Amino acid sequence: MITAATDTSPEAAAFQQAANESRLLFGQCSVCDKPHYYPRRICPFCSSAEVEWLQASGRGHIYSYSVVRKATPPYATAYVTLTEGVTMLTNLLTPDFDRLQIGDEVELLFVKGDDDQQSAFFRPIA
Amino acid sequence: MSQAYIVGAFEHPTRLAVEQSVAQLHAEVAIGALEDAGLSRHDVDGYLCAGDAPGIGPLSIVEYLGLDVRYADSTDIGGSAPIAHVAHAAQAIAAGRCNVALITLAGRPRAAMERAGLVTEYTDYPESLFELPYRPILAASYAMCAKRHMHEFGTTSEQLAWVKVAASQHAQHNPNALLRKVVTVDDVLGSPMIADPLHRLDCCVTTDGGGAIIVAREEIARSLCRPLVRLRGAGESIKYQLGSGFDLTTTAGKKSGAQAFAQAGVSPADIKYLSTYDSFTITVLLALEDLGFCAKGEGGRFVEDGQLISGIGRLPVNTDGGGLCNNHPAHRGGVTKIIEAVRQLRGEAHPAVQVKNCDLAVAHGTGGMLDRRHGCATAIFERL
Ligand SMILES: [Zn+2]
């Protein structure tokens, strides 16, 4: 699925390439100075094309989450707010879903999917 | 204030359509609504549908029905689309673009699922790469909003369960409802967890069938032998997240509701009945807050102890049993929201749930993915 998306979206290809090198990018506008996610080439706040894709530090906290219990095995979808200020959809990796809490500090790691493409996941900082 | 009236409304009685095609279901609900209005297909000169209609926009269904239309609209903002269509039809009527507009919604996901299993298709949307790797199933989308609402406002699973309890209390009187069994708060909390904090009974049903609405100009409405139901105000809005200023506890309903109430010149306190989208229990809670029936964060306390049950609570909601118990055809609950509001205003709801002197009602929809991007539409109707 990820391969198909980058194949058809030249705009997103650099994001996936960075992810495959274990770097998470977000959009930062040079005109209005606002960060955004998902990153795009046109700023969604001011329509400027003066957008840089910056590398996130990889630290953040859980804004909200849900453990998909009906899946086998269960997995946790979440929104993580990065220290840079943007909030992104992701998955959380943890041996104990019951200990997750909104506000928990998390750190970035990359997980390779079935299609050999890496995606940004997070795990609680012990 | 518009001069457009709902003159026909029809809900397909089926909840499992093994034998019919999707187009056939659209046609069956269209015919039902025309019969309800006392109009013929030759009177229809406007047609509106959303993405549940097969083919390019309105083209295939207009052909299938053999209509001759001079106005067509295929706005799709998810399941709330038919509520937006009513307002679009009213605008077209006001502009002289049509006299009688037909809105249809239909599908057969249940029959299709029994045949092929749940199929998730890859879609080339701009956001796909940033979302699909995380398997964002619909229930989790709404669950993360519920979890955040609990975190910010102390909302409980028991309070969410009351939304389902009220729906089931109403559905027991609806012979066509998929689920007619009355359930308790404990039943909801004891049902399997789908995506925490949402249990199976916090989720709407999957059904086949659909519904249709006929909107007509005033002279035509007055010539028909039906109670007069006028569109008094409407609004629509689309909400999304851009990463910054993130917020999962306010919906587009805040804007669509404000527009509708401003146009109608009434306030939530004036409303006798509310049809509101109930894809999940949390969807109802957020709508009650955003439409102004209670303050932000007060939704949980507003719905508990049966406050949404007709004849008992402070605000009767979804007296047909809603999407939680009655019907959520084609994964889209918008048309059934309008239909039950029309029944209430006409005095044609089931006697056990009919609201006394119901002269002002709201139909409100929340379509799409609540967390990522969704579209809300609000319509306020009055009985003259
Ligand atoms: Zn900008």
Give the CA distances from residue B26 to residues B14, B37, B60, B335, in Å, rounded to whole numbers and listed in that order.
13, 17, 11, 12
Rounded to the nearest angstrom, the minimum Cα separation between B258 and chain A is: 24
Domain-embedded: residue A3: no
- The predicted pLDDT at position B117 comes to 57
Which residue did the predictor score with more confidence, B215 or A7? B215
CATH number assigned to the domain comprising residue A47: 2.40.50.840
Instruction: Give the ranges where B95-200 is alpha helix by DSSP (H).
Output: 109-116, 128-131, 138-153, 157-171, 185-190
From ligand 1's centre to the CA of A47, what distance in Å? 6
The proportion of chain A whose per-residue pLDDT surpasses 70, expressed as a percent, equals: 94
* A49: containing domain: 13-124
Mean pLDDT throughout B212-221? 98
Q: Nearest-5° angle of CA A29, CA A31, CA A34?
A: 40
Domain-embedded: residue A4: no
The most distant pair of C-alpha atoms in chain B lies apart, rounded to whole Å, by: 56
**How far is A124 from A106, CA to CA, in rounded Å?**
4
pLDDT band for position B384 (cuts 50, 70, 90)? very high
- The predicted pLDDT at position A55 comes to 98
- Find tokens 């699922």 and name the residue: B113
- The predicted pLDDT at position B125 comes to 87
User: Domain B4-113+204-383 is of which CATH architecture?
Assistant: 3-Layer(aba) Sandwich (3.40)
Domain-embedded: residue A1: no
pLDDT value at B152 more than 70 = yes
pLDDT value at A2 more than 50 = no
Residue pLDDT, tens place only, B162-176:
999 999 999 999 999
**How far is B166 from B306, CA to CA, in rounded Å?**
6
Quick check: B331 and B218 in contact, CB under 8 A?
Answer: no
- C-alpha torsion A60→A62→A65→A68, nearest 10: 60
Cβ-defined contact of A8 to B124 (cutoff 8 Å): yes
From ligand 1's centre to the CA of A52, what distance in Å? 10
Give the CA distances from residue B46 to residues B92, B99, B100, B101, B217, in Å, rounded to whole numbers and listed in that order.
9, 7, 6, 4, 12
Q: Nearest-5° angle of CA B327, CA B369, CA A74?
A: 90
Cβ-defined contact of B243 to A65 (cutoff 8 Å): no
Residues of A in contact with B128 (CB under 8 A): 1, 5, 9
**How far is B44 from B171, CA to CA, in rounded Å?**
33
Which residues contact residue A16 at a Cβ distance below 8 angstroms, ignoring those fewer than 6 apart? A2, A5, A6, A117, B129
pLDDT band for position A7 (cuts 50, 70, 90)? low
Using CB atoms, which residue from B124, B130, B197 is nearest to A89? B130
Residue pLDDT, tens place only, B315-361:
999 999 999 999 999 999 999 999 999 999 999 999 999 999 999 99
- Find tokens 């609000």 and name the residue: B378
pLDDT value at B194 more than 50 = yes
- The predicted pLDDT at position B121 comes to 53
**How far is A92 from A100, CA to CA, in rounded Å?**
9
- The predicted pLDDT at position B114 comes to 75
Is it true that the peptide bond before B240 is cis, omega within 30 degrees of 0?
Answer: no
Give the CA distances from residue A73 to residues B131, B170, B261, in Å, rounded to whole numbers and listed in that order.
19, 36, 46
Domain count of the fold of chain A: 1
pLDDT value at A5 more than 60 = no
**How far is B76 from B238, CA to CA, in rounded Å?**
11
- The predicted pLDDT at position B39 comes to 98
* Structure tokens that stand for B16 in this block: 């499992």
Using an 8 Å CB-CB cutoff, list residues of chain B that contact chain A. 122, 124, 126-137, 139-140, 143-145, 147-148, 151, 192-198, 241-244, 246, 248, 371-372
Is it true that the peptide bond before A73 is cis, omega within 30 degrees of 0?
Answer: yes
- The predicted pLDDT at position A1 comes to 42
Average per-residue pLDDT for chain B? 96
Looking at chain A, which residue has its C-alpha nearest residue B127? Answer: A38
Domain-embedded: residue A50: yes
Say which amino acid occupies A44: P
Cβ-defined contact of B122 to A87 (cutoff 8 Å): no
Mean pLDDT throughout B246-275? 98
Residues of B in contact with A35 (CB under 8 A): 243-244
**How far is B347 from B359, CA to CA, in rounded Å?**
9
- The predicted pLDDT at position B113 comes to 83
pTM of the model: 0.96
Quick check: A29 and A48 in contact, CB under 8 A?
Answer: yes
* Structure tokens that stand for B367 in this block: 């379509």
Residue pLDDT, tens place only, B105-149:
999 999 988 776 554 555 678 999 999 999 999 999 999 999 999
Mean pLDDT throughout B302-317? 98
Mean pLDDT throughout B293-304? 98
Mean pLDDT throughout B49-78? 97
Domain-embedded: residue A93: yes
Mean pLDDT throughout A92-102? 97
- The predicted pLDDT at position B262 comes to 98
pLDDT value at A53 more than 70 = yes
The proportion of chain B whose per-residue pLDDT surpasses 70, expressed as a percent, equals: 97
- Find tokens 């038919």 and name the residue: B82
Mean pLDDT throughout B11-21? 97
Say which amino acid occupies B220: I
